[in-house]
Amino acid sequence: MATHNEIVICATQRSGSTMICEDITNSGVMGKPEEWFLSWNPEENKDWRTELLAVKAKGSTENGIFAVKLMANQLRQIDACLSGLVGASESGPYPHLRELLKNAAWIWVRRQDTVDQAISHYVAQKRGIYHTVAKTSGFVPGSSVTTEGFSRRDVDIPYDFQAILSEWSRIERDNLVWRSFFNDTGIEPMIIWYEEANENVAAVIARHAGLVGDIRMAPRNLVKMPSSRNKELKRQFLSDLFASA
């Protein structure tokens, strides 16, 4: 099996990708995946070569493995910024980005229940909390609170059918973008389902990437916090969805 020098986490909002990124980062040898290209905008007058070098430095571990997380809605802008730096050896969607990551192992993180995913994003936006952590040191992504802080802010979230429907439609659209991208390019990603991703997932990804040796399995700092309000919102949304069909 060939060894890949890059690992790309392909994601949609609230798919569990931050959890997977923590596992990879904790390994210490599989890159440091974050949304390194999040701020890239082709309308800005920047030295994209310098920006790319900075991204590579931030996302790489000492062994030279680079990792990054990409959202479907970022692909077009990233590719446009790379167009003056990276030649395109193949046709098809986002050729400059694909050329940059031609040695990558592609990992597609998904949720089996996209209604749960949509409600999770809707609730996170309303609360202003996107992640819950066990402690404030170690892997702490943005908009995080501790489990104690979450309990204090687990307030009643208003129901909004149209807002949840919009979130659900956006997730399904982004999944279609990823599916079409892989079909059109012939890339065969490894699919990781949020519902099945235990703390052994870093070792599974390492094998897929052709990396050998023991992978450190550090405990996750991210904590899944179940919420009865999410279940109530889902029941109401499905009821209204079926009534409108």
The CATH number for 38's domain is: 3.40.50.300
Establish if 84 belongs to a structural domain: yes
Establish if 133 belongs to a structural domain: yes
Domain count, the chain: 1
- Write down the pLDDT at residue 198: 81
Residue type, 62: E
- Write down the pLDDT at residue 13: 94
- Write down the pLDDT at residue 49: 96
- Write down the pLDDT at residue 32: 96
Domain that holds residue 101: 6-244
Element (H, E) at 211: none
Entry pTM: 0.93
Helix (H, G, I), strand (E, B) or coil at 242: helix
Establish if 1 belongs to a structural domain: no
124 and 130 Cβ atoms separated by less than 8 Å: yes
Establish if 67 belongs to a structural domain: yes
Establish if 89 belongs to a structural domain: yes
Establish if 173 belongs to a structural domain: yes
Establish if 200 belongs to a structural domain: yes
Establish if 104 belongs to a structural domain: yes
88 and 96 Cβ atoms separated by less than 8 Å: yes
14 and 124 Cβ atoms separated by less than 8 Å: yes
- Write down the pLDDT at residue 217: 72
- Write down the pLDDT at residue 1: 55
Strand stretches in 72-143, DSSP E:
104-110, 131-133
| Residues 68, 25: Cα–Cα separation, whole Å | 11
| Residues 190, 172: Cα–Cα separation, whole Å | 19
Burial label for 183, CB within 10 Å (0-12, 13-18, 19+), is exposed
- Write down the pLDDT at residue 154: 56
Mean pLDDT by 10 residues, the chain (245 residues): 87 95 92 96 95 97 96 97 89 94 96 97 90 84 78 74 98 98 96 88 90 77 84 96 90
Angle at 150 between CA 37 and CA 59, to 5 degrees: 20
